[in-house]
A and B are shown apart, each in its own frame.
Chain A
Amino acid sequence: MTKRILVVEDTEDNRKIVRDLLSSVGYELIEAVDGAEGVALAQSERPDLILMDIQLPVVDGYEATRRIRAIPELAAVPIIAVTSYALSGDEAKTREAGCTGYVAKPFSPRQLLAKIREFLPNEG
């Protein structure tokens, strides 16, 4: 069964890069443009993994992650935080909010893929 990944990302280009990358290796993509939509889609779609941008409009990535973790069915889903470069202490903050992994922007698609495979090893 194809693994489904929810991408919460407000920049169109970043979404397209992730989409092109992940669909090329056989993942199914669900896309949300802000934190609130991300929480809603996570609840309705039950993805296997969530890529969570931290700097988001409406509801930021920290808050969205906390809300998702509050949903019992989603307590164990891997959430990989994607944060801007060089904001020191970000990794600790994302872990506090409930993220499982951490990728710093700018990420290279290869690095991102490697990180995703840590959590979904049987794909690609």
Chain B
Amino acid sequence: MISLNSLLVRPVARLPWRVQTKLLAAFLAIVALLIVLGACGLYELSRVNQRTEELINSERKIAAYRQVQHDTTSQLYSISSALLVSDQRTLDSALRQLNQFGYDLERLQFVAKDEINLLRKVRQEYDRFIAVATRIVGLIRSGQGDDAREAQLKELRPLADRLERLTNELVNKAEADVVADIEASEEAYRISQMIVIGFALGAIALSLVLGRTISLSLIGPLREIDATLNEIASGDFAHRLRIPNRDELGALAANINRTSEQLGRLYRELEEVSQHKSAFLANMSHELRTPLNAVLGYAELLVDGIYGELPERPKGVVERIQNNGRHLLALINDVLDLAKIEAGQLNLTIEDYSLGEVVDSVVAATEPLAAAKRLKFTATVQPGLPMARGDARRVSQVLLNLVGNAIKFTDQGEVAIGAAVEGRQFVLSVRDTGPGIADADQERIFGEFQQIDNTNTRKQGGTGLGLAISKRMIEMQGGVISVESVLGAGSTFRVVLPVQVEAMMEAAE
């Protein structure tokens, strides 16, 4: 696998070709191999065919040689018979057989073109044999039987022997050729079998290797690209793709790398800007508060008559300065809280506290406001609440905000606070008989500067940040804040908070 990877996959990936071209090249290579295979097969087939022809040819030769042998023997026989009988009919038959030699020779010349030398000898011998036989027949006809017999013994018989030897030689040679041909054609068959099998295996192996190589050179980078995109999606821009491809995938990887780099830079810039913004807000609200504290301080001293009792009208104006100053201070404080939460600088002070005491302190702070509006104001704390662990000041701030809002928006009826424990969670509730909140607005009020009607901000006071801050403070302690309300029938805000904040946060990590 490793060697295949280093030997083929990387070089294939490095080829500066398009994926399409690579696939085409691979298919063409396989097709070329198949064409070579076909050509070799055809060639071997034609050779086998040729051998068969040669074999048939050899068989023909052998038959012709044997015919010559046979004819020679029968000629000798007929001449011997003619010498013994010497009637006209036997002589005619001997002469006819002599003619038969002529055909035999014609046939030999046709079937055994490659044996010219031997054939020439055979021909010469035959010619002499025929000449002698003709002479003998002539002698017999003229009644010179003794001379004929002598010619037959001394000339015709040795000639016949030589002819037989020659034809035997030809037969042997032809038979040897047949054996050689059979062996050669068996060999050729074996070779062509090996060539066909070899090429077929080669083609299969080549298609497997090329297919696998090209697939790997595509799939590997795709997997890496997928992994990198996942990392980018989860906010990690540090990873860079390193794939060897110089095709479309290489271009894609380069693009992804550039995009990731770009995104990473933008992300860092945004983070920096956001931190600068938060730091700026924190500093600014501190700087704003210093002179505002002085304004509020002097106003209070004036109202309290430290600089001498003020006449009614200027006193009223100074009180308005005080109220507006306090509103401005509340806004600044809320903005600072939000900025700190956004910048992750708001740390919880986790300590043991009593939820009952928190409720009591909030009731003490808000009771005068409820009384001023003649609202029924109740607080129901479940007896025997367990000791709480969390940031008491933040919980108190949230409850104060909720109760303050309830009193602020309720003109008649009641505001009821509840504190109970359910399992390992506190449930704090603030119910009012105010105007209620429409369904569409119930999510929105937890956003920044989102009051149902922005004109309310002026009329009712408040910064429009209270619920946004409350939501974050409760969530920082692993809790949830929610509202249930029917328009015209009041609202109930509910805070569900772990009894043991620290334990919860640790469990969450």
A33-57, CB < 8 A from B: none
Interface segment, one of B214-222, B289-297, B434-442: B289-297
Interface segment, one of B140-148, B271-279, B342-350, B498-506: B342-350
Which residues of B lie under 8 Å from residue A13 when comparing CB positions? 291, 293-294, 297-298
Given known A-B contacts A86-B337, A88-B391, A110-B304, A14 and B349 have beta carbons under 8 A apart: no
Which residues of B lie under 8 Å from residue A84 when comparing CB positions? 286, 289
Which residues of A lie under 8 Å from residue B210 when comparing CB positions? none
A3-26, CB < 8 A from B: 11, 13-14, 17, 20-21, 24
Q: Which of B286, B301, B336, B340 contacts A20 (CB 8 A)?
A: B301
Given known A-B contacts A11-B294, A106-B292, A109-B297, A88 and B329 have beta carbons under 8 A apart: no
Distance between Cα atoms of A109 and B322 in the complex (Å) = 13
In the complex, B306 has a CB within 8 A of chain A: yes
Residues 327-344 of chain B, each 1 if its beta carbon lies under 8 Å from chain A, else 0? 001000100110010000
Distance between Cα atoms of A105 and B348 in the complex (Å) = 20
Assess whether A86 is in contact with B298, with CB atoms less than 8 Å apart.
no
Distance between Cα atoms of A35 and B291 in the complex (Å) = 21
Distance between Cα atoms of A80 and B291 in the complex (Å) = 22
B284-331, CB < 8 A from A: 286, 289-294, 296-298, 300-301, 304, 306-307, 329
Assess whether A109 is in contact with B349, with CB atoms less than 8 Å apart.
no
Given known A-B contacts A20-B307, A84-B286, A85-B333, A108 and B294 have beta carbons under 8 A apart: no
* Closest A residue to B292 using CB positions: A106
Q: How far is the CB of A25 from chain B (nearest CB, A)?
A: 9
Assess whether A17 is in contact with B349, with CB atoms less than 8 Å apart.
no
* Closest A residue to B297 using CB positions: A17
Q: How far is the CB of B123 from chain A (nearest CB, A)?
A: 133
Q: How far is the CB of A15 from chain B (nearest CB, A)?
A: 10
A77-124, CB < 8 A from B: 84-86, 88-89, 92, 105-110
Assess whether B300 is in contact with A110, with CB atoms less than 8 Å apart.
yes
Assess whether A106 is in contact with B346, with CB atoms less than 8 Å apart.
no
Assess whether B289 is in contact with A108, with CB atoms less than 8 Å apart.
no
Report the interface size for chain B: residues with CB under 8 A from the other chain.
26
Q: How far is the CB of A10 from chain B (nearest CB, A)?
A: 10
Distance between Cα atoms of A88 and B337 in the complex (Å) = 11
Assess whether A21 is in contact with B301, with CB atoms less than 8 Å apart.
yes
Q: Which of A11, A85, A105, A109 contacts B301 (CB 8 A)?
A: A109
Distance between Cα atoms of A11 and B294 in the complex (Å) = 9
User: Is chain B's interface secondary structure helix, strand, loop, or mixed overall?
Assistant: helix
Distance between Cα atoms of A24 and B293 in the complex (Å) = 20
Assess whether B297 is in contact with A14, with CB atoms less than 8 Å apart.
yes
Distance between Cα atoms of A17 and B304 in the complex (Å) = 12
Report the interface size for chain A: residues with CB under 8 A from the other chain.
19
Assess whether A17 is in contact with B292, with CB atoms less than 8 Å apart.
no
In the complex, B165 has a CB within 8 A of chain A: no
Q: How far is the CB of B501 from chain A (nearest CB, A)?
A: 14
Assess whether A86 is in contact with B336, with CB atoms less than 8 Å apart.
yes
Which residues of A lie under 8 Å from residue B424 when comparing CB positions? none
Assess whether A105 is in contact with B293, with CB atoms less than 8 Å apart.
yes
* Closest A residue to B333 using CB positions: A85
Which residues of B lie under 8 Å from residue A85 when comparing CB positions? 289, 333, 336
Q: How far is the CB of B348 from chain A (nearest CB, A)?
A: 7
Distance between Cα atoms of A107 and B301 in the complex (Å) = 12
Given known A-B contacts A85-B333, A88-B348, A106 and B306 have beta carbons under 8 A apart: no
* Closest A residue to B298 using CB positions: A17
Q: Which of B298, B304, B336, B393 contacts A88 (CB 8 A)?
A: B393
Q: How far is the CB of B9 from chain A (nearest CB, A)?
A: 59
Residues 376-414 of chain B, each 1 if its beta carbon lies under 8 Å from chain A, else 0? 000000000000000101000000000000000000000
Assess whether A106 is in contact with B301, with CB atoms less than 8 Å apart.
no
Q: Which of A21, A88, A92, A109 contacts B346 (CB 8 A)?
A: A88
Q: How far is the CB of B279 from chain A (nearest CB, A)?
A: 15
Question: Considering residues A11, A86, A89, A105, which has the most beta carbons from chain B within 10 angstroms of its beta carbon?
Answer: A86
Q: How far is the CB of B472 from chain A (nearest CB, A)?
A: 14
* Closest A residue to B322 using CB positions: A108
* Closest B residue to A23 using CB positions: B306
Which residues of A lie under 8 Å from residue B340 when comparing CB positions? 86
Q: How far is the CB of B357 from chain A (nearest CB, A)?
A: 16
Q: How far is the CB of B247 from chain A (nearest CB, A)?
A: 59
B contacts, CB < 8 Å to A: 286, 289-294, 296-298, 300-301, 304, 306-307, 329, 333, 336-337, 340, 346-349, 391, 393
What are 20 pairs between A and B in contact, CB < 8 Å? A13-B291, A20-B301, A20-B307, A84-B286, A84-B289, A85-B289, A86-B333, A86-B337, A86-B340, A88-B349, A88-B391, A89-B349, A92-B349, A105-B293, A106-B293, A106-B296, A107-B293, A107-B297, A108-B297, A109-B301
Question: Ordered nearest first, which 9 A-B pairs have the shortest CB separation?
Answer: A13-B294, A17-B297, A106-B293, A24-B306, A88-B349, A109-B300, A89-B349, A108-B300, A20-B306
